[in-house]
Chains A and B, each alone.
Chain A
Amino acid sequence: MTNENLIQYIYGIADNSLILGQRISELCGHGPTLETDIAMTNIALDLLGQTRSYYQYVAELSAKDLTEDDVAFLRTEREYKNVLLVEQPNTDFAYVIVRQYFFDVFHFMLLKELENSKNVNFQAIAKKSLKEVSYHKRFSGDWLKRLGDGTEESKAKAQQAVNDLWVYTDELFQMTDNDILIAEAGYGVDTNPLKSAYYNEITALIKGSTLDIPETPYFQKGGKQGIHTEHMGFILSDMQYMQRTYPDMKW
């Protein structure tokens, strides 16, 4: 296991938080109510804060002279290893909540395991992030229940979001060759054993929200190999604009 293996593994985790954080931050000032606006922005900030710890570690591991900003903002699309779920657009509030919930449940399970990693950096990041992510999961889960069990309109929109985003859930558990290598070394997490618990949990909440589980003949994948959906380029052009226009700019 080389440092480069470890770096690629970190991208697989941290890029999810980065891209989802960027996606949610698009909503800043546009939330359905002041209270939900602040709540979602808080979540975005939590996620971006987590990526800082991961990318600082990447900068430390890298043979190149990198800063956390280079890692976050100056990679090309194929070099981002986030799952497709987190780059899906903020179609409406139901999408935002379902996307969040599908990710949060996974994220929580992953961090719970990462807390037992042999790598002390992973342990520390996981421990700190877990408190934030357990709140995210409660927030998104509670909202999903309210949307599903709310008005006819909110129910229809929540069902639509569940149907459309369901195809991106399986990729969360996809293990790349590199993931397997890191997991076998005791540094990373083997996500296979988590999968059934994940589907049990989200299925129970979706059904409890009076919504139906969609039937999907196939699942979308590719993000973990750097093959993204058409949305990714737009996210990056937004996110990277400042660093590309004013290289090495600082706050």
Chain B
Amino acid sequence: MSKKNWPLWEVFVRSKNGLEHRHFGSLHAPDADMALKNARDVYTRRSEGVSIWVVESKNIKASNPEDNGEMFEPAADKAYRHPTFYELPDDIEHM
């Protein structure tokens, strides 16, 4: 195996039908097919999932931590954006 690493992939697993795919971790693989197989072996061998997505990490555009001030702080003092001012009937669960 050459020293050059295979590309990095991010793995998303749906743990059961009806739930969304969630980020499980990352792994190396030469291509998308292999990434899917590796993900199956690395992340679902204890039956953690029913569906897997893989996406090459370089295709993810991430926010820059240096921009956190302008990106996220303006939301901090706007409590009225939370839907906490509604009265919920007791029978409604999981809100």
Contacts and interface: CB of A to CB of B under 8 A. Distances in A.
A112 interface: no
Given A34-B27, A138-B37, A146-B30, 18 more contacts: A32-B1, A33-B1, A33-B6, A34-B28, A34-B42, A35-B27, A35-B29, A35-B38, A36-B38, A38-B38, A38-B41, A38-B45, A39-B37, A39-B38, A42-B41, A139-B37, A142-B34, A142-B37
Interface of A: 32-36, 38-39, 42, 138-139, 142, 146
A32 B3 CA distance: 11
Contact of B28 (A35, A42, A138, A142): A35
A35 B41 CA distance: 7
Contacts of A35: 27-29, 38, 41-42
Interface in B41-69: 41-42, 45
Interface in B12-44: 27-30, 33-34, 37-38, 41-42
Interface of B: 1, 6, 27-30, 33-34, 37-38, 41-42, 45
A142 B38 CA distance: 12
Nearest to B45: A42
**8 tightest Cβ-Cβ pairs between the two chains A and B:** A35-B38, A39-B41, A32-B1, A38-B41, A42-B41, A35-B27, A38-B42, A42-B45
Interface of A is mostly: helix
Contacts of B1: 32-33
Contacts of A139: 37
A46 to B, nearest CB: 10
Nearest to A39: B41
14 contacts: A33-B1, A34-B27, A35-B27, A35-B28, A35-B38, A35-B42, A38-B38, A39-B37, A42-B45, A138-B37, A139-B37, A142-B37, A146-B30, A146-B34
A146 B1 CA distance: 13
B75 to A, nearest CB: 39
Contacts of B30: 146
Contacts of A138: 37
A78 to B, nearest CB: 36
